Structure 1
Amino acid sequence: MSTSSTLSPRALYEEVAELLRQRIFSHELPPGSWIDESSIAQEFGISRTPLREAIKVLAAEGLVTMKVRRGAYVTEVTVEDLQQVYRLMGLLEADAAAWVAANASDQLLSELRGLHEQLGRLTLDRKAFFMVNEQFHMRILEATHNKWLFQMVQDLRRVMKLSRHNSLLKSGRIADSLAEHEVIMAAFAARDAEAARQAMQAHFTQGLEAAT
């Protein structure tokens, strides 16, 4: 059965973009590798038109780089790129954390506490830890109801996933990350916006040091 037979009703190019996105994040398509349009179109059972539209989507997200008359390749992330991404994410997520501390309902804080406690039970399962960790951070952003903030951080996180040097891979980093989350949660519980801002900023500063 071809891949195209399982595609959802949404636009074909969007589904193709998601399939390629997952291959990029898993490094099945590693940084620097060229995207073989002919081979992928044949594998998916589609024409090159939706594939090229999908590539444009990924280029807009920074996941692939397009070269005139040469095609597209998976973006390579440098140490400088990581530094810039982490610093921007630190600023944006610190602002979101301050908003949550000042405005969150008890129900939201309970939800975040639940995610934090779930992380504490996943320290030996890195893949699951990564997934729940992202849920924790994105839930904070989602709570602000600021779609621009959410989209910007989502795009930055996609670029961060291109790197093989994820901060959580460093020995001891998961335990440190949990401790930093606990400081953030304490600031939320105290309804201290400035403490939450500083704690989230420190979390990303430490993450950058571990990633580079």
Structure 2
Amino acid sequence: MASTRQVSDFASRLATSKDSVRPTLISDRVYELLRQAIVEGELAPNDRVVESEIARRLGVSQAPVREAVKQLAREGLLVHVPRRGNFVVEISTEDAEHARQVREPLERLAATMAAERVTDEHLAELEALVAQMRQAVEVNDVGRFRDIDIAFHTRVVQIAANPFLTRMWEVLEPNLRALRAIADPLFEGDWRAMADEHGRLVLLLRDGDGARAADAFADHAAGRAPVPDRRTRRKPAPH
């Protein structure tokens, strides 16, 4: 649970931000406040986020707070526990690394097989997903980027056309999402470059070189892909 200092700091942030919330898009501003509180540790892992309390302190209705909470849940920063409420996610670094270790050989196999089976129609689907990633970056919607990123890798697995591989991915994918082992919402690098990296993966599949595609997908899954880190500051996502 949060320390007294953390609770006091977060309450103080809400109090001082009360007036600035009103003239902006309220859900965007609430999202920004909550996200910053999580990133900076004012809301610690396993802390409960009470929509009614936040709305009361900010002097707004619960609707924009609810929208902000939903967006943070989509990004993997909050989790909803039925009959208990919303809580800041606690991520085990060890669990996340274990998930990546399993993901890497699956992605390698999927890329090898997909490169042999990919069609022009498949490539068009993957290119459309990359275009959607770039659109999500332009409007600073990290949650949308994550959804598309996961859809991209799921589609590559499906193109591989191995039912056992598909089943294994279906088991692993929810854990990758929950553990933020794919498209980490706290990534501070260049999200445009991340989208471009997916474009490069599509080109390798188009070339039909299974070995090169396998190495590239494995490096991508393990976080070894050459994505620049320009430390760009993200804006709040739209609602």
Tell me the TM-score normalized by structure 1.
0.59
1:191 maps to: 208
Q: Count the aligned residue pairs.
A: 145
Deviation of the 1:125 alpha carbon = 1.1
1:155 and 2:171 correspond:
yes
Distance 2:153 2:162 in 1: 14
Change (3 A) 1:121 1:181: same
Say if 2:103 and 2:172, in contact at 8 Å, map to a contact too: yes
Distance 1:91 1:164 in 2: 18
1:126 and 2:142 correspond:
yes
Distance 2:119 2:168 in 1: 24
1:117 maps to: 131
Deviation of the 1:76 alpha carbon = 6.1
Distance 1:207 1:82 in 2: 15
Select which of 156, 163, 175 maps to 2:192: 175
Say if 1:92 and 1:153, in contact at 8 Å, map to a contact too: yes
Where 1:121 maps in the other structure, the secondary structure is helix
Deviations 1:29-79 (A, max 9, x none): 2xxxxx7xxx58xxxxxxxxxxxxxxxxxxxxxxxxxxxxxxxxxx96521
Select which of 134, 144, 150 maps to 2:160: 144
2:117 maps to: 103
Distance 1:153 1:173 in 2: 27
Tell me the TM-score normalized by structure 2.
0.53
More displaced stretch, 161-170 vs 118-127? 161-170
Distance 1:94 1:173 in 2: 24
- Structure 1: tracts of 5 or more residues without a match: 1-21, 30-34, 41-74
Say if 2:110 and 2:156, in contact at 8 Å, map to a contact too: yes
- Structure 2: tracts of 5 or more residues without a match: 1-72, 228-239
More displaced stretch, 85-94 vs 171-180? 171-180
Where 1:122 maps in the other structure, the secondary structure is helix
Say if 1:101 and 1:193, in contact at 8 Å, map to a contact too: yes
Select which of 76, 79, 85 maps to 2:99: 85
Change (3 A) 1:170 1:77: closer
Distance 2:180 2:200 in 1: 27
Where 1:160 maps in the other structure, the secondary structure is helix
Where 1:28 maps in the other structure, the secondary structure is strand
Distance 2:155 2:128 in 1: 12
Change (3 A) 1:27 1:115: same
Identity over aligned residues, as a percent?
23
Say if 2:107 and 2:217, in contact at 8 Å, map to a contact too: yes
- What amino acid maps onto 2:221 in structure 1? F
